[in-house]
Amino acid sequence: MGWPSSARSTAGSSPASPHPPPPYHEKNATEGKGPASTPKSPTGPTHIPIRASTDTLHRTATLPPPPPPGSFAAILLDNGQQITSLRLPKRLVGPLSAAITSAWPDGLLRCAASPVQGGWEWELNGWPFVQHVESRRIMFAILQVLYAAGWAVQCSNNINKHHMAKGTIFLKAGEPCGKTFFGISFFKEDRIRLIDAPTAELRATFIAIAKTWHKGVQEAKEKWAGCVQVKFRGTPFYTNDHMEQDMIRMLLLDIMTAFDALGFELVTCIEMADFVRHEGTQPETWFFANKNRQREGSVRSSICHGS
């Protein structure tokens, strides 16, 4: 028996049938006449067409128009006895001078334009920023005038790290409003003070919350007229104990919550250390004010539109 004829045909002299050509696709077809040929490799770099660019990377930058004159300003507390304003309208010099002298009994030593264009300086008699309560009252009076004239605090920071430098308050022009300021200050490592609270309810609330300190308090009394001081047991403002750090923060949150419910808000925090000190050795003072922003018509007309 031999192989089937179909199998013998593949091994015989007759050549095998060729495979059918692949189907035609237009995108695979090559140009030119005759059978398809292998495309030649380019002999040089491929040239990519470049169109005119509209990119502004290499053009001169067009800066936005500057803000209106007097849109931003600053108040500097410096050298223990000097206050400087930058870019505040000159018409505010009089009201600010009156505010400073009303809060500082020793008065002004000098009030004049500063060497910097758009600046003004007030040099006070004595050393007001060494006095804990009086220095805060000076700031209350200044902030009240600024808000009545339409200047609101944007932020505050101690830009200058010199040991005698204090905070810089950055302001933005806006709508005038009437605000009554008071503050909470932190003294030494264990005391907190409420200065010039406008209502008896605020004072009572402050003392009641302070007395919830888990270690108790040593005293809670009116230290000076208008200044309530609470002395905690332990050293909550100078401790390495993480639990105690968290506990004092929780107490401060309770105070802020209660003040907010009574209609008062935290406006800003300003570094006002009382003595020559190293960086960061004393917490900032918190400045509160009433939340209702009432327009000051009389002050607006005399300060904002005055000469």
Mean pLDDT for back-to-back runs of 10 residues, the chain (307 residues): 47 50 54 50 53 48 55 88 94 96 94 90 91 93 97 85 71 94 94 97 98 96 95 94 95 98 96 57 84 55 41
pTM metric for this prediction = 0.72
Please give the pLDDT value at position 272: 81
Task: Please check whether residue 22 lies inside any domain of the structure.
Answer: no
Tell me, what's the pLDDT at 303? 44
For the chain, what is the domain count?
1
Asked if residue 120 belongs to a domain, the reply is: yes
Query: Using an 8 Å Cβ cutoff, are 283 and 138 in contact?
Result: no
Residue 9 lies in a domain: no
Q: Is residue 238 in some structural domain?
A: yes
What pLDDT does 80 receive?
76
Is 7 inside a domain boundary?
no
pLDDT given at position 300: 44
Residue at 179 is within a domain: yes
Predicted confidence at residue 185, as pLDDT, reads: 95
In a domain, 31, yes or no: no
What pLDDT does residue 307 have?
35
At 21 the pLDDT is 58
Domain carrying residue 113: 72-304
Give the residue carrying structure tokens 């990377």: 57
Residue 44 lies in a domain: no
